[in-house]
Structure 1
Amino acid sequence: MELPENNGYNKRTQKDYSLSFKLQLVAEIEQGFLTKSQAKTKYGIQGDSTVTKWLKKYGNFDWEDRTFYPMSKTPEQKILELEAKIKLLEKQKARAEHLAERADKKVIIFDMLVDMAEKEYDIEIRKNYKPELSTASKKNKKKQ
């Protein structure tokens, strides 16, 4: 009975790798000589997460914190974004001016209607307060 050929591929376990090997592999990856997948292929490491576990355990980088740092934008991209913001702000300004103009027109129309109602029905709708003190304030002053 013949044994199947391995074609240079030996099945290994975590226990087969020495600490010095793991540290060397981690150093190679952190120095940028290899990626995780290249190291896995080069050294015949089978598990998908084996190298990642070694990086977390023995590496100098914080492999747990995977915060996203967006790439810096080119000046052309920044200009396009700023132009889009300018257009948006111009639209918002025009809308605000339109609403302010409508509000002013409403106030004028309301004043005209109140004037017409006062003349038509001969009553005072608007209250005309004089800058004198109110009666409650006058009583408080006399008590002191």
Structure 2
Amino acid sequence: MAKQTKSSKMYTERFKRHVVSEVLSGQLTRGGASRKYGIGGNTTVHKWCIKYGGDYYLQGLYIDLPLAFQAKGKTMYKEKSSASLPDDPKILKQRIAQLETQLEVESLKREAFEKVIEIAKRDLKIDLAKKLDTKQSPK
């Protein structure tokens, strides 16, 4: 019986950098980039982001998920001290835009959760509001 081997594609550095720039700018997710460009492997784009995105990628200063799916209980951005921020005004403006987008998303989520709590309390007679004086159960 013939043994099947995986064929590996070779990508140019220019192509890799283009894909990474789309991921770091938030235009595509890593998975979305893999699907769009037919890139095989589960971690190929991730490895490219580490290699070509450098500290910008590793510090989490990018958007990796579409806005509708952002921050499912996880912080998408890591706060860094002002000493580690770049001096380039273009990068700082991008960062400000990302933070404003994140703030808008979080505000909308908060409003949605408040509305769910209000409806549950009014229609279902269920009080979902967090009580401040309750103790956590032991683990």
Do the two structures share a fold, i.e. TM-score over 0.5?
A: no
- Class of the TM-score when normalised by the shorter of the 2 chains: 0.3 to 0.5
TM-score (norm. length: structure 2): 0.41
The structure having more radius of gyration, on CA atoms, is: 1
